[in-house]
Amino acid sequence: MRIRRLRGSELVRFVDELWLPFAREMAAMDDFDTLADSGVRETVFSYVKDRFSDDDIATFVAEEDGLVGYVSVEKRSSPPVFARGPRGYIDGLFVRVDHREEGIASALLSRAEAWARRLECEFVSLDVHADNHVARSLYRRADYVTKRYRMTKRL
């Protein structure tokens, strides 16, 4: 398995093979993440393309027999009222079901952390579904600790 930066020529494959399956899996876990009924693929492609051209955002892919996983990480500035520097934010981490429990998610997470460290981020953070026990276990093993709870209410 090899981990490397996503290439511009792979954006369509990335959306179809990794991003959309990840989004569908998250939607099945929580209807808060339900995708729109139409135009999703085109909208996602535009979103991914915009993020790809941003120097403060990186997407890394795991490649084995094709693309098998990804992590997206971005550098975020802290408001100037806080005595802390920038942080890395893991925006998405996904491994195809047929490649789970092979250490790929841990390797992707480490790669994202290394990127954030190189950009002089002081911390790295992420959001995870409360019911995603597998992911929460992965993050705890990687020394992530709960600092906040995000609460949501449907109106």
pLDDT of residue 118: 97
pTM for the predicted model, two decimal places: 0.92
**Count, residues in the chain:** 155
Domain 2-141 class?
A: alpha beta
Q: Which of 45, 54, 38, 37 is nearest to 10 (CA)?
A: 45
Residue 133 has pLDDT above 90, yes or no: yes
Please provide the average confidence, as pLDDT, over all residues in the chain.
94
Q: Which residues contact 144 (CB under 8 A, 6 or more apart)?
A: 126
At 142, the pLDDT band (50, 70, 90 cuts) reads very high
Query: What digits encode the pLDDT tens for the residues 39-48?
Result: 889 999 999 9
Query: What digits encode the pLDDT tens for the residues 62-112?
Result: 999 899 999 999 999 988 898 889 999 999 999 999 999 999 999 999 999
